[in-house]
Amino acid sequence: MWKTSSHSNSRTSRWKVTTRTRQSKPPWLSRSWFVNKTSTPSNSPLSGGEQSRSLPDKGGLGRVALRISLIVAMAKNRTIGMNNTLPWRCPEDLKHFKALTMGHHMIMGRKTFDSIGKPLPGRTTVIVTRGRNLKIDGCLMAHSMQDAIKACAGDSEVFIVGGADIYTQSLQLVDTLYITEIQQDVDGDAHFPAFDKSVWKETAREMRSQETPQPLHYHFVTYQKTPSPQPSGKTTSQSTKPASGQVAGYPEGRGSNRENLE
């Protein structure tokens, strides 16, 4: 049972102001908010075959260390999908995905789950959806990115696995990017959001190629977020306009996360 915080009303009030103006970044878009505020639910995560449960909008707040990672395969033109499926066939990339995510929570949108079709063995699936009545056996249901992160409390690492809107909403929260870089442009209708690579440090790159089931050159690349520099003599940080291509707060032209869930 989630405990209701006595400060929930004030947070709700601030959320409404943020949603209406779309100028201020809501507190849960700061990763430090999750590290300091996320708590472990009293019920343990569901395993495959158990009845799913919906997470409440508000809950007891505690303290937990959580590493948030994002995993994606994308082409040079940032294509990640076509007709809700991968626009290439790369068995080694699927093995790479399995090896990294095994034993951990995976956060995904409903359309991404539909493309997979079932909870993946050995992992806990957290589906972010607007559907308040949607229940899927073996999965945790969340109605915001905030709830999805709460559901992963107690895990050493959680993986954001798509789709495009979920990637956009979570990019600022992420510590590590695991990107399979397809070394060619590919047509598609879903794309990874543009991001500022100057705030990321490449820590690993493995070059691969295949001839079957289709000729393909690709790299397994790992990026770690670099700490933000603190201005000399400044004790408090000041908001600055993001560099071109950098995602900050909500993407331009979109509403709150609750309006853009997959």
pLDDT tens column, 146-187: 899 999 999 999 999 999 999 999 999 999 999 999 999 999
Instruction: Determine contact, residues 58/64, Cβ cutoff 8 Å.
Output: no
For residue 66, name the pLDDT band (cuts at 50, 70, 90): confident
Per-residue pLDDT reduced to its tens digit, 212-238: 999 999 999 999 999 876 655 544 444
What is the pLDDT, as a whole number, of residue 41? Answer: 40
**108 burial type by CB count under 10 A (0-12 exposed, 13-18 middle, 19+ buried):** buried
Q: Which two tokens stand for residue 252?
A: 């331009």
Q: Can you tell me whether residue 166 is helix, strand or coil?
A: helix
Q: Give strand pairing partners of 48.
A: none
Other beta carbons within 10 angstroms of residue 188's beta carbon come to 19
What contacts 245, CB < 8 A, 6 or more positions away? Answer: 194, 195, 196
- Angle (CA) 169-76-223 rounded to 5° is 55
Measured CA to CA, the distance from residue 21 to residue 172 in angstroms comes to 20
Coil, helix or strand at residue 104: coil
Strand order of the β-sheet with 200-210 is 53-54, 139-142, 124-128, 105-109, 157-160, 67-74, 176-182, 216-225, 200-210
pTM beyond 0.75, yes or no: no
Is the C-alpha dihedral spanning 31, 65, 108, 52 positive or negative?
negative
Q: Which pLDDT band, with edges at 50, 70 and 90, does 65 fall under? A: low
CA angle 36, 26, 159 (to 5 degrees): 60
pLDDT for residue 239 is more than 90: no
How far is the CA of 183 from the CAs of 49, 59, 73, 82, 128, in angstroms?
A: 39, 44, 11, 17, 31
What average pLDDT does the structure give for the chain?
Answer: 75
Task: Give the Cα separation of 249 and 83 in Å (integer).
Answer: 28
Cis peptide preceding 213, ω within 30 of 0: yes
Domains and CATH numbers, the chain: 27-40+51-226+247-259 (3.40.430.10)
Q: Could you give the percent of the chain with pLDDT greater than 90?
A: 59
